[in-house]
């Protein structure tokens, strides 16, 4: 037994397993869920996130509202979306994604219409607050929860597919928004985007996610049974996991890592220009970083098969530190810096899946929504403030090379914290009783769905 995975885990109950064919419907039906979420994630990210940077100059020019003010409203929506993920996660565990994502789509449409019709900055800001609540219910967190529970042990492939396809949101909607803006006002563009959002996401969420939510009945019966027996030997409670040292270190490590990665991405262009690149080359470098993200996500499956949970978490965060240090220290040539930027994009791509699978790799899937909501909140906030904080630090430190040096230290600290992010061998995952838990396995292998041997349950194996 490797040291990256918890070893003392009760045997999985085959009757309670979440294999797609047994518990969650036919493979064809599951593919329908995945296809629907791929389409809705592209659309939701495109309209609620990527349209704003394109339309911001037109909004400022037309209304006279400052760029700082409208950007603050947008950032507030992102922070609200992060904080809203905590209560949403608990609701996801109990109810599943159907009503949540359908209602979220309706709220998103109303919010975008509110943006389009805002007569003043206060109305505009209030519309972004509603949009933030809608983001909580329609972006990655509920989609990840749906695929994790529906696909059971096959969730990594489904999550990889979703993030690969959803990664095209900017590719589709940034040019679309720009094209629409060249023919109509920003208000009309937002109304058109609201129509697209309504036509695409509401029916797909309402129809494709209308299926039984696996694992709820088993989890409820487990909790009733656990209440009648002594504390020793019970599976870990959600509160115990959230307050545990491994969870806190995992959250801190991924939060610092995300801050460093996104600060690097947003400030890459001015750094490259300071190194002698022209604006066009710097923009291409940023775009090629997106290609790196796709490559990283494609490579996540093989990485999972060859590494343990702890080792790949530390590896990706350490690789981020290495690429950040290279960007800080290497003066050129520009081609080499572009290559490093692509590698930095690869780490960002893998980090998305690293976060999506962090809970199931350590504590099972039964309380995935709750735990992932708590985990995602500070990570999302870090990503939201990274652009502003990076620019502010660059000014205070005297330039972008110094900023990247500081971000290197942050990334190194993130990797160091991640070394302590695994539960102890004696810990019993929340998901142990539900049949989908990080059961006894060799390092880097997927969860074992079979009945474990007595030997495999001994602590320290």
Confidence grade of residue 18 (pLDDT, cut at 50, 70, 90): very low
| Mean confidence (pLDDT) of the chain | 78
Q: Which residues, at least 6 apart from 167, have a Cβ–Cβ distance to it below 8 Å?
A: 290, 293, 294, 297, 349
pLDDT at 26: 59
**Is residue 10 predicted with pLDDT exceeding 80?**
no
Neighbours of 93 (CB within 10 A): 25
Q: Are 316 and 309 spatial neighbours (Cβ–Cβ below 8 Å)?
A: no
| Interval 274-316: pLDDT, tens | 787 777 777 777 767 767 777 888 888 888 888 888 999 999 9
* Calpha distance 240→251 (Å, rounded): 15
pLDDT at residue number 28 = 53
235 pLDDT above the threshold of 80: no
Give 383-418 pLDDT, tens digit per residue.
878 877 877 788 788 888 888 999 999 999 999 999
- Mean local confidence (pLDDT), 22-38: 72
pLDDT of residue 160: 82
The angle subtended at Cα 18 by Cα 27 and Cα 301, nearest 5°, is 70
Coil vs helix vs strand at 65: coil
Can you tell me the mean pLDDT for 349-375? Answer: 83
- Which among 2, 126, 14, 78 has a CA at the least distance from the CA of 387? 78
- How many residues are listed for the chain in this entry? 461
Per-residue pLDDT band for 82 (boundaries 50, 70, 90) equals confident
Contacts of 34 (CB under 8 A, 6+ apart): 147, 158, 161, 162
Q: Which residue has the higher pLDDT, 298 or 123?
A: 123
Cβ pair 272, 323 in contact under 8 A: no
Q: What is the mean pLDDT of residues 157-175?
A: 81
Residue 236's pLDDT is what?
A: 58
Query: For residue range 176-210, what is the model confidence (pLDDT) as tens digits?
Result: 888 898 899 999 999 999 999 999 999 999 999 98
- Is the pLDDT score of 450 beyond 70? no
Q: Which residue has the higher pLDDT, 312 or 218?
A: 312
3-state secondary structure of 120: coil
Do the beta carbons of residue 86 and residue 374 sit within 8 Å?
Answer: yes
Query: For residue 74, how many C-alpha atoms fall within 13 Å in the half-sphere facing its CB?
Result: 21
Q: Which residue has the higher pLDDT, 423 or 251?
A: 251
Task: Say what the pLDDT of residue 425 is.
Answer: 56
Distance in angstroms (rounded) separating the CA atoms of residues 143 and 33 = 10
Cis, peptide link before residue 377, omega less than 30° from 0: no
Q: Is the pLDDT of residue 15 over 70?
A: no
38: pLDDT strictly greater than 50: yes
Mean pLDDT of 167-182: 83
Most confident of 104-113, 141-150, 157-166, 400-409: 104-113
Asked whether residue 75 carries a pLDDT value surpassing 70, the answer given is: yes
| Mean pLDDT value of segment 239-258 | 90
pTM over 0.95: no
DSSP 1: -
Compute the average pLDDT of residues 77-82: 86
């Amino acid at each position: 037994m490797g040291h990256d995975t918890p070893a003392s885990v009760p045997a999985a109950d085959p009757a309670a397993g979440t294999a797609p064919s047994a518990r969650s419907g036919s493979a064809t039906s599951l593919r329908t869920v995945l296809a629907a979420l791929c389409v809705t994630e592209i659309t939701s990210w495109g309209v609620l996130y990527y349209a704003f940077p394109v339309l911001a100059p037109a909004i400022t020019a037309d209304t006279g509202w400052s760029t700082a003010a409208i950007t603050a409203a947008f950032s507030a929506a992102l922070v609200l979306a992060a904080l809203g993920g905590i209560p949403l996660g608990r609701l996801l565990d109990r109810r599943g994604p159907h009503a949540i994502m359908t209602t979220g789509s309706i709220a998103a449409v109303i919010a975008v219409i509110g943006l389009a019709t805002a007569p003043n900055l206060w109305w505009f800001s209030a519309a972004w607050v509603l949009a933030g609540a809608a983001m909580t219910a329609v972006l990655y967190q509920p989609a990840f929860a749906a695929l994790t529970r529906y696909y059971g042990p096959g969730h990594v492939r489904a999550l990889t597919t979703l993030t690969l396809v959803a990664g095209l949101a900017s590719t589709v909607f940034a040019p679309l928004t720009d094209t629409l803006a060249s023919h109509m006002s920003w208000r009309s563009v937002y109304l058109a985007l609201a129509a697209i959002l309504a036509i695409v996401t509401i029916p797909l969420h309402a129809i494709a996610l209308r299926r039984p939510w696996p694992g709820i009945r088993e989890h409820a019966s487990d909790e009733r049974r656990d209440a009648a027996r002594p504390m020793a030997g019970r599976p870990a409670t959600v509160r115990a996991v959230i307050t545990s040292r491994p969870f806190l270190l995992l959250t801190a490590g991924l939060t610092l890592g995300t801050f460093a990665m996104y600060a690097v991405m947003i400030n890459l262009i001015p750094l490259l220009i300071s190194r002698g690149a022209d604006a066009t080359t710097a923009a291409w470098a940023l775009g090629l970083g997106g290609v790196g993200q796709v490559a990283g996500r494609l490579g996540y499956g093989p990485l999972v098969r060859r590494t343990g949970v702890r080792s790949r978490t530390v590896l990706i965060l350490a690789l981020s530190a290495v690429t950040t240090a290279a960007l800080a220290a290497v003066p050129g040539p520009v081609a080499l810096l572009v290559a490093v930027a692509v590698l930095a994009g690869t780490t960002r791509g893998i980090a998305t899946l690293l976060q999506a699978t962090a809970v199931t790799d350590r504590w099972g899937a039964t309380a995935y929504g709750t735990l992932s909501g708590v985990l995602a909140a500070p990570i999302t906030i870090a990503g939201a403030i990274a652009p502003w904080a990076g620019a502010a630090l660059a000014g205070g430190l005297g330039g972008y090379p110094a900023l990247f040096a500081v971000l290197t230290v942050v990334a190194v600290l993130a990797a160091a914290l991640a070394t302590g992010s695994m539960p102890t061998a004696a810990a019993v995952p929340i998901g142990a009783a539900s049949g989908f838990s990080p059961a006894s396995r060799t390092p880097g292998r997927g969860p074992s769905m079979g009945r474990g041997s007595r030997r495999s349950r001994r602590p320290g194996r």
